[in-house]
């Protein structure tokens, strides 16, 4: 009897499998030691190990005796949860239940940063086509700049399922790296005088309960009327928010925020890992995607900061916006707002930018979902 018959997994191991097992261990290290998005990176890291052991029963294998396919659990999860978009949409319900839109009512104009800071998505999409990706793949890569994991997963699972693994890894890793990626870009684009700017905000303003209940309903109806393809994304987000704000479903709201979020996150992370097999992941395209992902984050940040500078040209002195706040228009909530508040405090310990930064950051959460819906609507029309 040969060694390959006795230990088929050892004999079938390729260098790509070994690289992916190392990637899996690195993700686990980053999740535990550095606490970079541990809820997603740890299941993904473990899953990467699980699917890179040859003949793993976690993936579908052909039974050599009968020639029939034996379906693996992760493939079943993938078909049920990712291919149908169910897992990311359930995550949106959970995120919606966690979001408080009241900071947006304090200064609604900051909502526009949620649009400006999506600039990097489109720049990256154009650049990705220039380096050889087709339109659908380029759009899926660009959406990494949304800094929004579930949106990235939905867009790439529909437009470029072959790239789902590297896009998910890039989206979640870079979200965790916001404190490292954003500050140098912000510093490069702003003067010290601009970073010292103080903002007036009505942080004591109370928002009507009726307004907070009507907001998710009206946003859903209007988004649906303008772009129905965005309705699954925005609708589930707003449904979660309505559960939170209605005031009569506190138990469901708590469940959505905790149990639902935790359960789906576990399944989502390990299921995405089913796409991280050596032969699919260890490619030049993955390196390109990781590079383009940083590119998207940098241009998103730049888009927000530069838009704030343009807005300031038209605003009265007492209404001017600290350009750093523009960088919070990305969806990484509340990390981006904390980073910018921290940068403001570093320049001037008495400058409190947290409230406007949170407002822009909440705008970014809406903006990223809208862009996801727009891309899903536009790309098939052009492809």
Partner 1 sequence: MSPDFYKALEISGIGIAGVFIFMTVFYFVIMGLDKFFPNEKKTKQIAEAPKQEYKPVEFSDDEFE
Q: Which residues bind partner 1 (CB under 8 A)?
A: 104-105, 108-109, 111-112, 114-115, 118-119, 121-123, 125-126, 128-130, 133-135, 138-139, 205-211, 214-215, 218-219, 222-223, 226-227, 363, 366-367, 370-371, 374-375, 378-379, 382-383
Q: How far is CA 108 from CA 114, 173, 212, 362, 363, in A?
A: 11, 30, 13, 11, 9
Looking at beta carbons only, is 230 or 257 nearer to partner 1? 230
Tokens for 237, please give them.
């987000």
Looking at beta carbons only, is 28 or 104 nearer to partner 1? 104
**Cβ 156 to partner 1, closest distance in Å?**
16
CB atoms within 10 A of CB 237: 28
Alpha helix segments (H runs only) across 190-330? 192-195, 209-226, 231-245, 250-255, 261-272, 278-281, 284-312
Whether the CB-CB separation of 273 and 21 falls below 8 Å is answered with: no
Tokens for 39, please give them.
């809820």
Q: Is the peptide bond before 258 cis (omega within 30 degrees of 0)?
A: no
Looking at beta carbons only, is 215 or 295 nearer to partner 1? 215
**Cβ 59 to partner 1, closest distance in Å?**
32
Of 148, 127, 149, the closest CA to residue 137 belongs to: 127
Looking at beta carbons only, is 278 or 373 nearer to partner 1? 373
Helix-helix angle 119-130:135-142, to 10 degrees:
140
**Cβ 137 to partner 1, closest distance in Å?**
9
**Cβ 322 to partner 1, closest distance in Å?**
20
DSSP helix/strand/coil, 4 = helix
Q: Is 35 left (phi over 0), alpha (psi -120 to 50) or beta?
A: left
**Cβ 369 to partner 1, closest distance in Å?**
10
| Integer Cα distance of 240 and 257 in angstroms | 9
**Cβ 33 to partner 1, closest distance in Å?**
37
Looking at beta carbons only, is 111 or 170 nearer to partner 1? 111
**Cβ 116 to partner 1, closest distance in Å?**
8
Looking at beta carbons only, is 273 or 337 nearer to partner 1? 337
Looking at beta carbons only, is 268 or 379 nearer to partner 1? 379
**Cβ 205 to partner 1, closest distance in Å?**
8
Looking at beta carbons only, is 277 or 301 nearer to partner 1? 301
Q: How far is CA 324 from CA 77, 137, 194, 333, 379, in A?
A: 41, 31, 8, 16, 32
Looking at beta carbons only, is 184 or 291 nearer to partner 1? 291
| Integer Cα distance of 120 and 304 in angstroms | 10
Strand-pairing partners, residue 69, are 62
**Cβ 367 to partner 1, closest distance in Å?**
6
Kindly state the helix (H) or strand (E) to which residue 69 belongs, with its residue range.
Answer: strand 69-70
């Amino acid at each position: 009897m040969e060694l390959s018959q006795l230990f088929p997994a050892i004999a079938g191991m390729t260098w790509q499998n070994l690289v992916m097992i190392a990637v899996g261990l690195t993700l686990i290290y980053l999740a535990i030691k550095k606490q970079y998005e541990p809820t997603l990176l740890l299941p993904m890291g473990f899953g990467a190990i699980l699917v890179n052991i040859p003949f793993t029963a976690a993936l579908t294998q052909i039974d050599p005796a009968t020639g029939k396919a034996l379906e693996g659990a992760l493939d079943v999860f993938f078909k049920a949860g990712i291919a149908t978009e169910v897992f990311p949409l359930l995550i949106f319900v959970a995120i919606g239940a966690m979001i408080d839109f009241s900071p947006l009512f304090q200064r609604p104009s900051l909502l526009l940063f949620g649009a400006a800071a999506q600039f990097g998505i489109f720049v990256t999409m154009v650049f990705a086509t220039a380096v050889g990706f087709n339109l659908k793949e380029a759009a899926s890569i660009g959406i990494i700049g949304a800094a929004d994991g579930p949106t990235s997963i939905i867009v790439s699972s529909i437009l470029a399922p072959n790239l789902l693994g590297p896009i998910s890894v890039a989206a979640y890793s870079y979200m965790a790296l916001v404190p490292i990626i954003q500050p140098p870009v912000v510093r490069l684009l702003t003067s010290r005088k601009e970073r010292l700017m103080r903002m007036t905000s009505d942080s004591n303003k109370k928002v009507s309960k009726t307004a907070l209940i009507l907001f998710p309903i009206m946003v859903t109806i209007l988004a649906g009327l303008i772009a129905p393809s965005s309705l699954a994304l925005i609708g589930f987000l707003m449904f979660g928010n309505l559960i939170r704000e209605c005031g009569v479903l506190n138990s469901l709201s708590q469940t959505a925020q905790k149990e639902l979020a935790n359960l789906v996150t576990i399944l989502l992370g390990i299921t995405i890992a089913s796409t991280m097999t050596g032969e699919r992941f260890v490619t030049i395209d993955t390196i390109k995607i990781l590079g383009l992902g940083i590119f998207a984050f940098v241009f998103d940040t730049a888009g927000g900061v530069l838009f704030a500078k343009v807005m300031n040209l038209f605003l009265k002195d007492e209404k001017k916006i600290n350009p750093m706040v523009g960088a919070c228009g990305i969806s990484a909530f509340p990390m981006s707002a904390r980073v910018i508040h921290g940068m403001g405090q570093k320049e001037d310990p008495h400058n409190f930018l947290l409230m406007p930064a949170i407002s822009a950051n909440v705008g970014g959460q809406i903006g990223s979902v809208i862009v996801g819906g727009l891309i899903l609507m536009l790309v098939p029309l052009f492809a």
